[in-house]
Amino acid sequence: MAIYLLHRLGLMDPVKARRRGLALLDGLPVAQAEQMADRLSAELLPLVRAEARAEISALRARGLCVLLVSASLGMVVRRLAEGLAADGYLASELVIVDDRCRGAYAGPVLEGRQKWVALNRFADDRFGRGGWTLVAAYGDSVDDVALLERATEAVAVNAHGGLARTAARRGWRRVAWR
């Protein structure tokens, strides 16, 4: 949890945070990592803003498929998606060998353009190539621009720095969920 918080508060470089997190998980039995993911998601779910929960409910009420797309580990993001009643998730996944976590990702880290690549692949597989539209996307980092710029409704959440400038320039909706 400490590494996650240091990263989210901008006090630790994201690459360094990922390396430290992977090092902590390397060699850990999957069952133990899953227990850690249970505890972390249980701590994070109450922190999700009421406004974010309301947006998810509103999107689902419109009949839209709601996914959490995150660079965070899938074992945590899955639990968050379930707790928020999202339809699913896309996240960075760990290499698992012989029921043990390895200090490596099984594929790309879903950040920046990789979020769009993963979402595009998922949606093409689920709805057919060209049979879907990214109706809404929410992002809280400049790394989310590649996904936001492809959405009909782009929403910059608690935007600052590069994301705030991009949102203003492109006329995206901005929300402050504090």
What pLDDT is stored for residue 123 in this prediction?
A: 96
What pLDDT is stored for residue 8 in this prediction?
A: 46
Cα separation, 118 vs 37, whole angstroms: 22
What pLDDT tens digit does each residue of the chain (178 aa) get?
444 443 444 545 666 777 777 888 899 999 999 999 999 899 889 989 999 999 999 999 999 999 999 988 999 999 999 999 999 999 999 999 999 999 899 999 998 999 999 999 999 999 999 899 999 999 998 999 999 999 999 999 999 999 999 999 999 999 998 7
CA distances from 144 to 39, 97, 171 (A): 27, 31, 16
Strand runs (DSSP E) across the chain, as ranges?
A: 67-73, 88-92, 94-97, 100-105, 136-139, 153-157, 173-175
What pLDDT is stored for residue 35 in this prediction?
A: 94
Domains of the chain by range and CATH? 2-132 (3.40.50.1000)
CB-CB contact of 145 with 120 (8 Å): no
